[in-house]
Every structure is written in structure tokens, then in C-alpha cells.
Structure 1
Amino acid sequence: MPRSKRNRAITLSNVTKKDKETKTKNFDNLSDNLLKFKRVILLNLSNINSNNLKELRKQWDNEDLEEENKSKLVVSKKNMIIKNFDNYKEEFVNLNKLNQKLKNQHEKNATYGILYTNYDYKTVVDFFESYVKKDFAKSNSKSPISFTIPGGIVYSRGGFINQEDDIPMAHSLEPTLRNKYKIPTSLKDGKIVLDTEYFVCEQNETLNVTQCLILRQFGIAESEYRVEVMAAYDKETQDLC
């Protein structure tokens, strides 16, 4: 009897990786922009989320701008950028110094980007110095505030705003606070209550996962996220900033 197709074994252990063609395209993209634009700006993008990154791409990758105002933001692997710049170290004096700056970075899981642009260096720096986004805190980041949940009825913002501007937290969330976050809450007359205040975190304290989740639960998005301008190379003057 022929073997049923339904009984055919399917392995789930194989993971599709970026093929050589994709990597080559990424490498060529770095090269094309290096030759096209006047300045190369090295950015550390580790401190922003994917939505911020999309916003930055939209602002910089604008094809409708005149040639002198065009730019291209490329996010790539650290080793890919290093390898690409190594290919042009003889053609562009001092580009190797920019590359060395990247080689000296040992931050784990860091995300780097290259902004290829015709804007002058000061314009780029001024833009990123003013680019500050507030969002929920990430694990292992510094707490933006000191936060303690007051005793009594638990409100949706946990005392972060004035009580008269807040509403009691929904009673259905009580098991989440008690079981998931280990906050000693209870239900009284259909409202979540705390017998005493509950300390969550101190300002500038390194946050763990649970503390971040508690801050998120109470809608506290006060952490500031920025882009670090690490260095810049000007092809016309051969200067490194």
C-alpha cells in the first residue's frame, strides 16, 4: 500500500536563514550609499524601538527632497558594516578610523545604523539631540522615576496622577496584580485595595522584568529614548568628527 501523505514526517528543526543573495544585497546597499552621499554618520540605535526606527526612516529616507537634502538610513549588522568599510579604507582616507570606532564597541545586542547624508554634520547632530521619545521602561534600564503604589483603593495610574483625575482599577485585574506581580492586593466591596503602600522602584534603579511590567500596567511611560551619534566622516574634507 502506498504511504499516506498525511503520515509523512515533517521536521521542525530546520530554521530558514538569510541566504547569500540577501546578505549580498545588504552589502551592496552599504557600498552604493557610501559612494553616493557626502557624509557618513555612525549611529547607535539600541535605545529606540521599532516604531521609532520606522519614524526615523520616514523622516530621512525622503525621495521627494532635492539632491542636496537627501539621506539614507541603513541598519545593518556590526560585522557587515565593518567589512564594508574595510573595502574602502584606501579609497577614503580616515574612513578606517570610523570603522575602528565601531570595532571598539562591545555592547551586547547593540543595534547600529549608518546615516548617509548630504546634510552638514551640525544639522544631523542638532536633529538627534532634540530627538527624544518617551516610552515604557525596558528590563535592565534605569528607572525614570521613583514609584510607590499608595495604600487604600488602587487606582489605574497607581497614584502617578491626582486621584480626582483617576479612576479605580478594574476589579478583574486583581488576580494579575496579586499572582503575576506579587503585589499584596485584595478585593473589598468590588474594589482592589492595598492595606499599606507598595514600593515598586527608586529613580535610577536598574529595573527587572517584573518592575517594568508593573510600570506598564499603571501606564507609566516616562523613560526617554534617544539616538547616539557616535562619529561622522566627511568624504569631501576627509575629516572625522
Structure 2
Amino acid sequence: MPKSKRNKTVTLSKTKKKGREHKEAIVNAIKETAEKFSSVFVFSFENMRNKKFKEFREQLKSTSRFFLGSNKVMQVALGHSAADEIRPGLHKVSKLLRGDAGMVFTNLPKEEVERLFNQFEEYDYARTGSTATEKVELKEGPLEQFTHEMEPLLRKQGMPVRLNKGVVELVSDFVVCEEGKPLSPEASRILRLLGIQMATFKLHLICRWGPDDFELYMQGPDDSDVETN
């Protein structure tokens, strides 16, 4: 008997891929924004946390506009060379949009932007695959920070634990993670349970462009072709 088409499962989570129209909208938005603001900064980021970044962006909403996404799309908008740049000197900014980077157009004074970016630092729990910043080792004995209900969960993470008169106890020393090595999913969960935060969300300024000047803050091995004046 043929299968009824009425019973066909429909996935509602499918989303439409961002196509040409979306990219063109971003390019046009960047071009319009470049005409409205006095300067633009390129920045890099590490250990991105979307919620924290949104809060930082909201803080500057009245004076600035951020763009974070496809570097290639942003490069097209700014121009790849002096021949197709949208304002004089912006092709230098385009060349520095690489890796985990974004840009912010702003009317704030240069010193204020530098202060805000240099002061921004948020600590959070490290994710699976992140590099451990220190060695964490738990010694044999009672783990009084955990309730007895958590014993099965800890055991599931590979910890050699048991219940001793209602108290969670390590039956031997246990290394959660080693400094400089990637965190396993289990190590990441244990660190969260222990309240140990190893990830630091930071923003680093790379360059600044203004109508009359260009300044490089961080120079990498591939930036030798970027003119600074």
C-alpha cells in the first residue's frame, strides 16, 4: 500500500539561506553609514559572547554603528583599492578585515573609543575546545560544595566519586584539565560546576580611519602593505 503523503513530516526549523539580496543590503548600509560618521575603527575579538557584545553595542548606540559578519562583504562595501573605495583611504581599512574582526563607525572622539575598548573585558565559562589557562586538580576526599543529588552527574563526567554518609567523595585525585590543553566536554562542564571561569571576552583595536588620517594599532605579519599615511 503506498505511503500517504498526508503523514509527511515537515521540518519547521529550516531557514532561508542569506543570498545576494541580503549581502547587497549590508553593502548599501555600510556605504550609507560611512557618509554619516566621522571615523571608523576595525577591531578583533576573542572568546565572543553575543549577549555581552550586544550590551556593549547598546552602550554606544546613540553615537556609533557596528558591523560584524562576512569580512568579504564588508571589504566590498569599503572598496579593495583606491580606485573603488567609497571615501579616500578606506581601502586601507578593508585590507585589515581578516579573521574574527568587525568595525564600528562613530562620532566619538578617538580617545573615548580607545578608553572604552581597552576597558572592556568580560569573564565567562570556557567552552569545549577552548585552551585551559591553568591546571585544575581535585584532591581525594569530600567535595562538600556538591550535594548528594549531584553524585550521578559528576560520575557521568568521569569523576571517580561515591557517596559516603550522604557526602560526595572523590576516591582518588582527579585532574580536571591541564594548562595549555583543549578542554573536553566533560572538563568544560566540571569547571562550570566548580564556578571556575577561564574565558575572557576581549576586543582589540586594529586601526582607525578618519577623513584626514589613518592609524594602525596592531600590526600583523601580513600588514606590511598597509600604508599608515
| TM-score bin, normalised by smaller chain | 0.7 to 0.9
Deviations 1:121-147 (A, max 9, x none): 332122111111111012333323332
- Please point out which of 96, 99, 103 is paired with 2:94: 99
CA contact (8 A) 1:98 1:240 kept: no
Quote the Cα distance in structure 2 between the aligned partners of 1:38 and 1:207. Answer: 43
Count residues with an aligned counterpart.
Answer: 212
Deviations 1:101-124 (A, max 9, x none): 22xx3x4xx3x3211011233321
Quote the Cα distance in structure 1 between the aligned partners of 2:133 and 2:8. Answer: 54
Quote the Cα distance in structure 1 between the aligned partners of 2:96 and 2:200. Answer: 25
The aligned residue for residue 161 of structure 1 is: none
Deviates more, 1:119-128 or 1:212-221: 119-128
Provide the TM-score with structure 1 as the length reference: 0.76
1:216 Cα deviation from its structure 2 partner: 0.9
Provide the TM-score with structure 2 as the length reference: 0.80
Question: RMSD across aligned C-alpha pairs, in angstroms?
Answer: 2.7
1:185 Cα deviation from its structure 2 partner: 0.8
Quote the Cα distance in structure 1 between the aligned partners of 2:6 and 2:12. Answer: 16
CA contact (8 A) 2:46 2:200 kept: no
- Please point out which of 139, 144, 160 is paired with 2:128: 139
1:44 Cα deviation from its structure 2 partner: 1.8
- Note if 1:220 corresponds to 2:209: no
The gaps in structure 1 that reach 5 residues or longer are: 63-69, 157-168
Quote the Cα distance in structure 2 between the aligned partners of 1:13 and 1:203. Answer: 39
- Please point out which of 151, 155, 162 is paired with 1:174: 151
The aligned residue for residue 111 of structure 2 is: 122
CA contact (8 A) 1:47 1:227 kept: no
Deviations 1:178-214 (A, max 9, x none): 12x2111111212211122212224444433332221
Residues 222, 8 of structure 1: alpha-carbon distance in 2 compared, 3 angstrom cutoff = closer
- Note if 1:23 corresponds to 2:23: yes
SS of 1:76's partner is coil
CA contact (8 A) 2:42 2:208 kept: yes
Residues 170, 18 of structure 1: alpha-carbon distance in 2 compared, 3 angstrom cutoff = same
The aligned residue for residue 163 of structure 1 is: none
The aligned residue for residue 219 of structure 2 is: none
Letter paired with 1:47: N
Q: Which has the higher strand share?
A: 2
Residues 4, 56 of structure 1: alpha-carbon distance in 2 compared, 3 angstrom cutoff = same
Alignment of 1:40-55 (within 5 A): 40-55=40-55
Deviations 1:154-184 (A, max 9, x none): 133xxxxxxxxxxxx12222122112x2111
Letter paired with 2:104: L
Residues 38, 214 of structure 1: alpha-carbon distance in 2 compared, 3 angstrom cutoff = same
